Structure 1
């Protein structure tokens, strides 16, 4: 019978756009839409968006975004990247974006409606295409706004549990020109056999998948050199506290701060959003306020979603007078969606709060030394709390029942007596070991309300080998823990199917046919014991 799947073909071209095929240096032509403000063909600055999700499709709603941008007087160019939808060429993730970006910018500068000044905008993969273009140092590229992205986006690092979407993305969005949607069956092993069955069903393979499996081939994402080694351009990094790709962006931010030329031109805005731009301030998400399905809600969202980028472009593309704050950030769960401003992140005046795991509690001083064990069973993994981590806030799951599993450790503080503002990085330190070949450790920090409901604040993960002292980054957060609420740290060895469970026998996670339970250990107490380090205000 084969695997059921849905093929998404190009949507009709918007009536607002003029489509043309732009020729790259190797002769390949890329489908490109041009949007002009009220049909004005006078020269002006251009915003370029290069994306793999269909420049005319409903998922990215580029025609609506372009219309919003053209109202501010910008020319907008939206392009299907090589090998996607209407564009020609081989479908390969991240391989051709640098020089294709350069050639597209060069084409823009030669158009009668261009004044030779270009900015780039976009999130996720079309944030990566900005960094790729910046690596080529085209002089017309004057500013970029990478949102919810990173230069290492979707890499498969050997020191972390494998994010299932890393390979799935290559089977859906980078299989060929069309997108292909299908449900993966995680009950069958080996997982690689399901992939082969999928290829047989659709009648073609994904070249990008074959370059990662069974081992990652080193791809030249940046053949002109790493973007951070290129001349610096003004950069507004847009992040979300619940963005599941934020760890890549925080890595980029830390590296850019170490480079004086880039750090002088670096701006940061952090919002209480997830990867799909749902806001914590809009909870609960309903059909009436869901931008993905409600056009009125989407138009309301555009103000917070697009206008900060246009304000940035006004200064750096148009030369308008004005000051862009170096850091803008929202304090989630505060009841006030206004942005705070600070010269640096974390904000000045923060301090470190250290909490120690003891028994089932998180306390201020270490408790007695002990070793706590749990069994990791790959056939009964701790389930991921929602079906789509990209749209985490659309679900905003209550995770209180997870702590009742025998393979989950939970440590909870007493309720706080005043509001506690978490404003900065969160880390977990521990001494861990396993009787298996490796130990995946997932750490989740939760807000526990008086009625017992537990909602995620932030999370992190790592993989350890043997007896090892580990430090797990749980990213950064701006979050108000309300008076009467508690913090809970949950520790587990699985988060499936979002992450591929370790089979317990040392075999490749996609090739393993059998599994083996492992006994995991974490130390508590004063010597290498499990601790949480929080950055708090005041």
Structure 2
């Protein structure tokens, strides 16, 4: 155990612990209002643990192994006692397991139970990434005064809903997560999930998609069927949407996010709501994807420097509210808000012969390509959370060589161009079919001609067989395009399997069985001023 302590200290770049001698009280029984009992483990120093500030971590992935060793131990060695609780229906806690739905009632009941324990001191913080952060937002507007801080990491207050937009269904992440949790309590469940990643990728090509869960795990799985049957605005999801709670949060919040994280848009939305409501909040965004080790490098020091300091009744060290890693410049910078002031929207127009320019668009015929959902344009790097697949910034050379990807590139820049904020595109588009997708990706082309992705997004169209102005929201970013580089925009009709391939038929996504090839047109010119809109400072 002490060896793992040294390893985690090095991996997470943490200061030396106050102690490495810990006690783990396993299977503490925490009663819920409906009579269910959820199990929890309490991690404390062997001496002097009672009365320390409590870090509460509520998790559906088990309390031992990675969660205990990588999350509870580093905090319990450095000034906290840590309670790690298995959420309802997982790892010994009474069920059933109904993802995301019972976290408000169970979270409030757990906090109430902790405060009444004889070992509880005077303060508590809420901590954790992803699902472990979502459970914080589920209770955020009703916290007792003993809770002194929230530290939600790569997460947001409406966790699943970004994936289920009717105008852009993100398939890979919710399906992959469902397969992971469906088998996680089997022997060697997590290693099996990692080894089975290729099987999951193959399953995503299943037609109809509502059979893909059976292909991947051998049986139907309710969460998979739910995400196929219900769009984000369906009342079915109402109980797991906690966006309305954010403005009423009274405790200080420090959010850790990543430029290539699956939850970034929602996390920035939550932070902006906090700022506009006048709450105490700060934000850190690094060059990370969801599972990047850099997330831990930022999150655990924040638990100590921000969370533990507040739990002890002191104020954290002063810093500006927003700290961003500006990619391209490769430096951390501080700002007063998100989005930062001083960055104004600037249109870069698609031009003839694959060029891109802030000048008014010139007259030109449309550009054409064929999209075949049987050979879908692949997802390459970027916003992904898949074992064995690259994410974040990668070489786009092979992708841009495909015939179903158009590119538009500026002249060589004679000075740096800094882009920080929300990115969007307006693409005038026409398809041979009524149903089509438009995917737009912003790239940086270096002096050697290597194209690297910065951010991207997709929107789905109905009535695409008429000229349509497709408004595409890309992931927000902070990026400096260096002098001597070029700015590039890709336009295509997919990024599979990050986004579901559009079959072109208008059939429901779960039951579609036919795939139709489409002839696509991107229009640009004075009457159809297709452009990417960049916040330039």
Unaligned runs of 5+ in 2: 1-20
* Cα deviation 1:201-221 (Å, max 9, x = unaligned): 3xx643333433433561343
Deviations 1:376-429 (A, max 9, x none): 211111111259822776674311122222211100111223333322222111
Find the counterpart in structure 2 of residue 17 from structure 1: 24
Q: Distance in 2 between matches of 1:386 and 1:348?
A: 30
> Which one of the candidate residues 354, 374, 377 is aligned to 1:379?
374
1:486 aligns with 2:486: yes
TM-score (norm 1): 0.84
User: What residue is the counterpart of 2:255 in the other structure?
Assistant: 237
Structure 2 counterpart of 1:145, from 151, 169, 177: 151
Partner SS state of residue 72, structure 2: helix
Counterpart of 1:47?
Answer: 55
Alignment partner of 1:362 out of 356, 359, 373:
356
Q: CA deviation at 1:324?
A: 4.3
Pick from 294, 300, 303 the counterpart of residue 309 of structure 1: 303
1:66 match: 72
Deviates further, 460-469 or 223-232: 223-232
* Aligned partner of 1:106 among 106, 112, 131: 112
Deviation, structure 1 residue 124? 1.0
How far is the alpha carbon of 1:232 from its aligned partner?
2.9
1:237-289 superposed Cα distances (whole Å, 9 cap, x missing partner): 2111111221222232344444x2xx32222111121111245xxxxxxxxxx
Instruction: Determine if contact 2:23/2:46 at 8 Å carries over to the other structure.
Output: no
- State how far apart, in whole Å, the 1-side matches of 2:285 and 2:392 are: 21
State which of 452, 469, 480 in structure 2 corresponds to 1:455: 452
> Corresponding residue for 2:402?
405
> Is 1:477 matched up with 2:485?
no
Report the Cα offset of residue 158 of structure 1. Answer: 1.0
* Alpha-carbon distance between aligned partners in 2 of 1:528 and 1:224, rounded to the nearest angstrom: 39
Q: 1:324 to 1:450 in 2, by over 3 A?
A: closer
In structure 2, what is the Cα distance between the partners aligned to 1:164 and 1:407?
Answer: 21
Cα 1:215–1:368 shift into 2, 3 Å: same
Q: After alignment, is 342-351 or 425-434 more displaced?
A: 342-351
Cα pair 1:31 1:80 within 8 Å, conserved: yes
Counterpart of 2:85?
79
SS in 2 for 1:316: helix
Asked if the contact 1:346–1:424 (Cα under 8 Å) also holds between the matched residues in 2, the reply is yes
Distance 1:224 1:304 in 2: 25
Match of 1:247 in 2: 265
SS in 1 for 2:489: strand
Q: Is the 8 A contact 1:161 1:440 kept in 2?
A: no
Matches within 5 A, 1:94-493: 94-155=100-161, 156-174=164-182, 177-178=185-186, 181=193, 182=196, 183-184=199-200, 185=202, 186-198=204-216, 201=218, 205-215=220-230, 218-222=236-240, 226-228=244-246, 230-258=248-276, 260=277, 263-279=278-294, 303-321=297-315, 322-336=317-331, 339-359=332-352, 360-369=354-363, 370-386=365-381, 389-390=384-385, 396-466=393-463, 467-493=467-493
| 1:412-464 C-alpha deviation (Å, 9 max, x unpaired) | 11122333332222211122232323221111111111222211111111112
Shift of 1:174: 4.8
Q: Shift of the alpha carbon at 1:236? A: 1.2
Q: Is the 8 A contact 2:56 2:125 kept in 1?
A: yes
For structure 1, which runs of at least 5 residues remain unmatched after alignment?
1-13, 280-300
CA distance in 2, matches of 1:170, 1:302: 23
Equivalent position SS for 1:111: coil
Instruction: Give the RMSD, CA atoms, in angstroms.
Output: 2.7
SS at match of 1:384: coil
For residue 345 of structure 1, report the CA deviation from its aligned partner: 2.5
User: What residue in structure 2 maps to residue 495 of structure 1?
Assistant: 495
- CA–CA separation in structure 2 for the residues paired with 1:503 and 1:66: 45
Q: In structure 2, what is the Cα distance between the partners aligned to 1:441 and 1:513?
A: 21
More helix by share: 2
**Number of residue pairs matched by the alignment:** 493
Moved more, 94-103 or 129-138: 129-138
The answer as to 2:476 corresponding to 1:507 is no
TM-score between both structures, scaled by the size of structure 2: 0.84
Q: What is the distance in 1 between the residues matched to 2:395 and 2:181?
A: 30
Instruction: Quote how far apart the aligned CAs of 1:356 are.
Output: 0.8
d(CA) in 1 for partners of 2:207 and 2:297? 46
CA contact (8 A) 1:274 1:393 kept: no
- Cα shift at 1:93: 0.9
